[in-house]
Structures are given as C-alpha cells and as structure tokens.
Structure 1
Amino acid sequence: MSLLRLRDDTAMPLYQQLEEQIHALIMSGALPTGAVLPAERQLAENLGVSRVTIQRAYAALRQRNLLSSQGRKGFLVRSRPEQVHPGMDRLKGFTEEMRELGKVPSSRVTERAIVHDRSISSIFGLPSTAPILKLTRIRCGDDIAMSREVAWYNLKAVPALEHGDLSGSVYAFLADEAGARLVRCEQTIEATMPTAEECRIFDFDEPSPCLLIKRHSFSDAGVMIEYVEGLFRGDMYSYRLKLRT
C-alpha cells in the first residue's frame, strides 16, 4: 500500500485513481494472490481520504473479480484465471478452440430436451410445431468454467442429433456421424451482465461483464443447423481479429 500515490492535479476521481493503481499492482504481481488489503477505514486513514473513496474503489475491484471481502480483516486478492486470446478467422467449435489454445476441453450438459418454441423456430425459418433440440452446457477449459452455452439444433435437417452422443464436440458429431458439416456462420458479440445463476457457475462474487455471442451456423447445403447463445467470461476472453485492406 506504500506504493499508492493519489494526485490532486488530475480530473480522474480519487476512487478511480486508487482502483487503477491497485489493479496495476495485482496485474504486475506486486500484490500476489492471497495478499490481504487493509480494511476500508484503515486505508482511508493512511491515505487521508474519505472511507467512501475506499469503498468505491474496492467495490469496483470486486466487480472485476480481483478482490473478495474478508469482513473486518480486509480484502483478499483473488487468483486470476489465465486469459485466452482466440482468433475469429474461421468457424470452429469450443472443443477445437480450446485444444488450439493448449487447454483440455470438457463439457457438462445441464439440459437436453426436444422443444417446440415459436421464436426459435422462426429463427430457423421453420413452422412453430417443428421439433428443435435444445442443449445447454457448461463449457470448461482445464476444468475452469469458461462459458455457458444454450444451443438449438434443427432436427428436421439432422434427425441423428436427437439420440446422438453429444457429450463431446457437437461439430465433430455433425461432420463425422451425421454428414452435416458446418461451413459458415453469422455471429454477433455484445456485452452483458451475468445472472445470479451464471455468477455461481463462473464463481463470481459479484456480477462481472461478460460477452454474449450469438451464432447462426449453416451446412454446405445452405441449411441453418444451429443457433447458439453463448455467455463467455469477460475476465478470460480477449478476441483478436486480423483485418486486411
């Protein structure tokens, strides 16, 4: 804490200066995992600022999942998951992406059901009575929950999905078992906040910004096979793009 220096010659609020300085110390390793930061009152007295300033800085760091409260003892620096930097240069599933990044992929199916959903059917351009396979999974890399994925599949186009083994890569199953390899997709990425259930899945003390990726995937025959809404941890994912003129 002796490294903290608050300035009065800048427009940046004191709490934000404090937040950014502590964040930098954590990222550099100067404040390692398990380090205990002073309680709010103590740090406020040491720095000569109001307790509200410390509360706002600590609250912001907790939202970034960098600190956890230890009550009167202060705040503990949390372990930081290793961030991944997947590319977006081609269509690939989560399993393939994790292997390319040197991680061991795994999935936990939390829901698998045949549904009749008017709104989802309309996305596929199917009648409201069309059967759709809904598959909800927690996707992990090296046993760390990285995304919660809700996917819907066109059973009219790929009936083998209804009883197929989808415990592994669905993309591999489609290509190798069902003869319906996915060749292109339309994808959007937007920022969102996780629900209470998703915070529990990601082990968040407080909601932290995540990436919501929506994907429409098509076979080589131009038939839409998959619609996915995947919530990805914002503290672990940093996508990179290569653009050319």
Structure 2
Amino acid sequence: MLKLDFVGNEPLYVQITRHLQSLIQSGELPEGSTLPSERRLAEMVGVSRITAQHSYNELRRRGVISSHGRRGSIVRRPENRILSPMNQLRGFTQEMVELGKTPSSRVVKREVTRNHQVATIFGLPSTTPLLYLERIRYADDVPLSNEKAWYNLSVAPELAEAEVTGSVYEQLARLGHPLSYCDQVIDAILPGNDDCAIFGIDPSAPCILIKRQSFSHAEQMLEYVEGTFRGDVYSYRMTLQV
C-alpha cells in the first residue's frame, strides 16, 4: 500500500503519480492492467477524488495510461518517442518505414466535396470538386496522427477512385503527379474531443498541428492537409546550416 507524506512539501498527486508510474515501469502493473477508479484510488490512499483525478490526468498526459469509458484507466504499452527529421518532403508512410516502424491507416471518411474555404487555399473556384480524406495514421498499431486532407481533383481526377489506405503520395506519383515541394506550418495545440478519444490522452495533453500545402513540379497545388500529432510521442528534428 502506498504511504503518502501528508506533511512534506511535495504535492500528494505527484507522490501518487510517481508511485504508479514506478509500478508500471517495473512491470508490476503490466500493459492492459485496469487501474482502480478515481474514487476507489482516493479511498485506498486517503486523499480527495480531485487529487486522484489529478494524478491520473498526469499519467495520461505522459502517455502511460489511457481512458476507455466504463473500462476505466488502462496501462498502455510502453512507447519510444519518435524523432522525425524534417529535411525532406515525405509522407507519413515513407517516414514511418524509414524510422523502422510499420505504418497503417484507418479511413474514417472519404468523399468528393466542395468546400469554399479550402478551395480558397488552393486558389480555386468554390465549386471545384475536392477529395476529402480523413484518416487515423498508426505506427506499430499506435495511433499517432488524426489527419484531414483535401486533394485537387481538377489536376488529379483519378485520385477520386484510387486506393488511399496507404501512401497517397505514392498514388499521386503513379498517376503522373509526383510532388515537388511543400509549404508547412507547425503549431502547438491542445487536442479536441476526437483527438482525445483516438489517442487516449487528456484534454490538457499537448499536440502538434501540422498544416501542409503540397505542390507538383508544375507548381500546381495538389494537397492541403491538417494533421494533429501526439505531442507525448512525436518530435521533429531539424538540422540548420550557416
């Protein structure tokens, strides 16, 4: 049983968090173990439910446990942080393969749509048909990215019927529209409700939002994508030269 120091300066939730993480790292609480409910944990160690909740939230932020509705909080599989170099235009599939991971995707939504706001980003009339593709991207079966992408069907109409569970970039190359370069913006954000459910993280956990505009050799914009990546697992590395 965990014995807490109620008179010292260290917050109680920090002590609980450290103890639980130690049990997880030692294997005493293996992957898939169900932790006590917040109420039960509070009763076991003699703290308020808010303190127990704070501790669980911190463990979720660290990616150590995840929430599964009525199943409660589950110990997650240990994960190594992914350090991805940012020195070349590559898709998620190629990136994961180069990092020694097995990539996969789940298509959440796929449709031909007309979106005035996105068409403006492409510099196209609002009535231009675009392929909208919403996918969850995995590495070794771990969800890393919640991706929403639009593709210019006026340039690559064949993409509307193409296979999209793998690399869309490879499909574009096969169709005669290889990408040449991209403009990319990276922001730090908090996850939305969908992101929390997909990644099993707390709403306070940091995420990375990548907005990318990708162009062909003919300077035609083919793709606009917004990908939310887990900040607890995913990092970018850049090499800068004078």
Give CA-to-partner distance per residue, 1:155-191, whole Å, 9 cap, x none: 112222122222321111111x222111211111222
Q: Could you tell me how far 1:227 is from its partner in structure 2?
A: 0.2
Matched, 1:149 2:151: no
Q: Which residue of 2 aligns with 1:25?
A: 22
1:102 to 100, 103, 106: 100
Measure how far apart 1:205 and its partner are: 5.9
1:5–1:68 distance in 2 versus 1, CA, 3 Å:
farther
Equivalent residue of 2:171, what SS? helix
SS of the residue aligned with 2:117? helix
1:184 to 158, 181, 185: 181
Does residue 132 of the first structure (1) align with residue 130 of the second (2)? yes
Select 1:39's aligned residue among 35, 38, 41: 41
Residues 7 and 185 of structure 1, relative CA distance in 2, 3 Å threshold: farther
**Corresponding residue number in structure 1 for 2:233:** 236
CA RMSD of aligned residues (A): 3.2
Q: Distance in 2 between matches of 1:30 and 1:197?
A: 30
Out of 181-190 and 33-42, give the one that drifted further. Answer: 33-42
CA 1:143–1:5 in 2, change beyond 3 Å: closer, same or farther? same
Q: Is the 8 A contact 1:31 1:77 kept in 2?
A: no
Matched-pair contact (CA < 8 Å) for 2:129–2:154: yes
- Aligned residue type for 1:111: K
Q: Secondary structure at the match of 1:62?
A: helix
Opposite residue 234 of structure 1, the aligned amino acid is G
**157-166 or 24-33: which moved more?**
24-33
Identity, in percent, stands at: 42
The amino acid that maps onto 1:128 is: S
Distance 1:6 1:79 in 2: 32
CA distance in 1, matches of 2:233, 2:93: 16
Which one is further off, 220-229 or 135-144? 135-144
Offset at residue 15 of structure 1 (A): 4.6
Offset, 1:237: 0.7
Say whether the 8 Å CA contact 1:36–1:75 is kept in structure 2.
yes
Alignment correspondent of 1:197 = 194
* CA offsets 1:47-102 (integer angstroms, 9 cap, x no match): xx8775554333322343424689xxx97643333321111111000110110011
2:57/2:202 contact within 8 Å kept: no
Of 15-24 and 92-101, the range deviating more from structure 2: 15-24
For each residue in 1:1-26, what CA deviation from the matched residue of structure 2 results, as whole angstroms up to 9, or x when unmatched?
Answer: 879879957xxx62574377458737
- Which amino acid counterpart does residue 219 of structure 1 have in structure 2? S
TM-score by length of 2: 0.79
Matched, 1:219 2:221: no
The within-5 A match list for 1:63-74 is 63-67=61-65
Cα 1:57–1:133 change in 2 (3 A) is same
Residue range with higher mean Cα deviation, 187-196 or 35-44: 35-44
Please, what TM-score do these two structures have when normalized by structure 1? 0.78
Residues 14 and 53 in structure 1, CA contact (< 8 A), matched pair in contact too = no
In structure 2, list runs of 5 or more residues that go unmatched.
none
Cα–Cα, structure 1 residues 87 and 220, in superposed 2: closer, same or farther, change >3 Å? same
Equivalent residues in 2 for 1:8-23 (5 A)? 8=8, 14-15=11-12, 17-18=14-15, 21-22=18-19
